[in-house]
Amino acid sequence: MSASDSTAMKLRTLMGDHPSTRAMKDGAIASPRVAFEFADVKVPNRAFKQVVRENAFDVAELAIMAYLQARELGKPLVLLPATIVGRHQHGYLVYNPARGDLAPSNLAGRRVGVRSYPVTTATWVRGILAHDHGLDLDRVRWVTFEEPHLAEYREPPTAERAPPGKASPRDAPGGRARCGGGRRAACRPIRRLRRSFPIPMRRARDWCRRNKAVPINHLAVVKQSLAESRPEIVREVYRLLREAKEKVPVPADGIDMLPFGVEALRPSLAIAIEYAFEQGLLAKRLEVDELFDDVTRAL
């Protein structure tokens, strides 16, 4: 029996084309109990507003910082302990060398372009700058280009919106640096730009080993109503995600960037919560266990 059988529960799903989801999206891993109806969205983060504002998907990948904010606001979403995207963050802070060198230690008084203040990559990088390099984040101007995913969130006084017509952090007016970018930004040379962290991959791996955590970006979430009414379907979704993840080769450095399970994720989630609270994304520190419900906590 295939996942397209009429007995399978159809689930409207937002899931990008990632190594961790490839086997599930191409049908190599399937279930007779669920049929994923994947949204035709090439860049998942462009639909995150639909996830947190409209509850538009039964299953979705979602940035961890957006989920933390949604959870605090009581949005009807539940986290699965399933990492969809995890990546080293040190390579995503870049600057224009034509305006002089810009190391993490001398960012105070500078302007840094970010897509929006609470985006996950920027939050991880700011946390690393504050905790590992002693940067006072309030002494940096964060130039933003888009509104946050959560309509209720108000950016802090240290953030300013770029003028109309400026489309990306690269366009920050008078900007010296930008934070964020696609997957290529961390691993390939960027024309005219340099990375602020020297030897970023070595520093990133050291961060993971010191903290016994990884800087997760996106995890899976489900509608609260689905978890309440069909817990067996939520368990099946998790099983499929886990099987798909197991198709991803283990990195040569031995650092699992795609942790699954509450305990495997606990150190990473605890740091994410701390960074989010310190930077004003959250009004209070959440507990890791309250990110889940009774169904997903037991996965």
User: What is the structure's pLDDT at 98?
Assistant: 83
For the whole model, what pTM was predicted? 0.91
Based on the fold, state whether residues 76 and 220 are members of the same structural domain: yes
Do 126 and 179 lie in one domain? The reply is yes
165 compared with 288, residue with greater pLDDT: 288
Distance CA 55, CA 121 (A): 23
The most distant pair of C-alpha atoms in the chain lies apart, rounded to whole Å, by: 63
Residue 1 lies in a domain: no
- State the pLDDT confidence band at 178, using cuts at 50, 70 and 90: low
Taking the C-alpha atoms of residue 230 and residue 295, their distance in angstroms, rounded to an integer, is 10
- Residue span of the structural domain in which 267 resides: 9-87+215-297
Would you say residue 202 has pLDDT above 60? yes
How high is the pLDDT of residue 101?
85
Q: What's the CATH number where 227 sits? A: 3.40.190.10
Residue 290 lies in a domain: yes
pLDDT tens digits for 216-258? Answer: 999 999 999 999 999 999 999 999 999 999 999 989 999 999 9
Q: Do residues 182 and 200 both lie within one domain?
A: yes
Strand pairing category for 216-223 and 77-86 = antiparallel
At 129 the pLDDT is: 97
**Nearby residues of 49 by Cβ (< 8 Å), 6 or more positions away:** 149
The answer to whether residues 99 and 204 belong to one domain is yes
Q: How far apart are CA 235 and CA 78, in angstroms?
A: 13
Q: In the numeric block, which tokens belong to residue 21?
A: 């989801």
- Contact at 8 Å (CB) between 158 and 140? yes
User: How many domains does the chain divide into?
Assistant: 2
Do 135 and 37 sit in the same domain of this protein?
no
Q: What pLDDT shows up at residue 182?
A: 47
255 and 155 housed in the same domain: no
The predicted pLDDT at position 183 comes to 43
- Judge if 82 and 219 occupy the same domain: yes
Residue 168's pLDDT band (cuts 50, 70, 90): low
At residue 185, the pLDDT reads 40
| Residue 39, pLDDT score | 98
Residue 115 placed within a domain = yes
Domain-embedded: residue 2: no
Mean pLDDT of 90-109: 89
Least trusted range by pLDDT, from 18-27, 98-107, 121-130, 214-223: 98-107
52 and 134 assigned to the same domain: no
Question: Final residue of a domain: which of 144, 177, 211?
Answer: 211
pLDDT at residue number 63: 99
